[in-house]
Structure 1
Amino acid sequence: MMFDKLKTINNPELLRLSGINDIIFNKILKILKTEEVKKFKNGGTPNKLSLENRLLMTLEYWREYRTYFHIAKSYGISESSCYRNIKWIENTLVMFSNLCNLQK
């Protein structure tokens, strides 16, 4: 499901679809936006999918254990692009989590 369609569903449906509520979704999105700005500050090719769609794609991967092939077909991208996007989000969130733990 693309993020555009997600705007029309309510919070309990988002929770059922992705496993997280809209507050957590937006917090994660804020972290990823900050890191993406850092990633592309020296240039680079913009991603075909919005960050919201990439996060939703990652959450679907984690929740449903769908293959990269099937998720990629759902979002209209290549399997390798799907893999790269999911791995970047995973690595970014792990890095952020580690930084938060170091600050405590």
Structure 2
Amino acid sequence: MNEETIKNIEDEKFRRLTGVKRSPFEKMLDILREAARLKKAKGGGKNTLILEDRLLRALEYIREYPYLFPYKSKRWGQ
């Protein structure tokens, strides 16, 4: 999925797909862009997926495996 496709999805379908509304998604992207910029300054290999796709895959994974997170939060003491 590329950025144009992401922007073409209706808001409700976007939320159902990712589990978040667009504004938090955009904030996440801003944070990840800054982290990627800092990481790129240090060097390293090139990513094969654009940042938006990597974030979408992570959010979709979290939605598919929600049972993992209660366990992890107990493990991390939250």
Size of the aligned set, in residue pairs, is 64
The amino acid across from 1:22 in the alignment is: R
Between 1 and 2, higher relative CO (CA 8 Å, sep ≥ 6) is seen in: 2
Which residue number corresponds to residue 22 of structure 2?
22
Q: TM-score, normalised by structure 2?
A: 0.75
Identical counterparts, % of pairs: 42
Structure index of larger Rg: 2
Matched, 1:11 2:11: yes
Hey, which bits of structure 1, 4+ residues long, moved more than 4 A? none
Provide structure 1 residue ranges, at least 5 long, that are not aligned to the other structure.
66-104
Q: TM-score, normalised by structure 1?
A: 0.57
**Offset of 1:11 from its aligned partner?**
0.8
The amino acid across from 2:18 in the alignment is: S
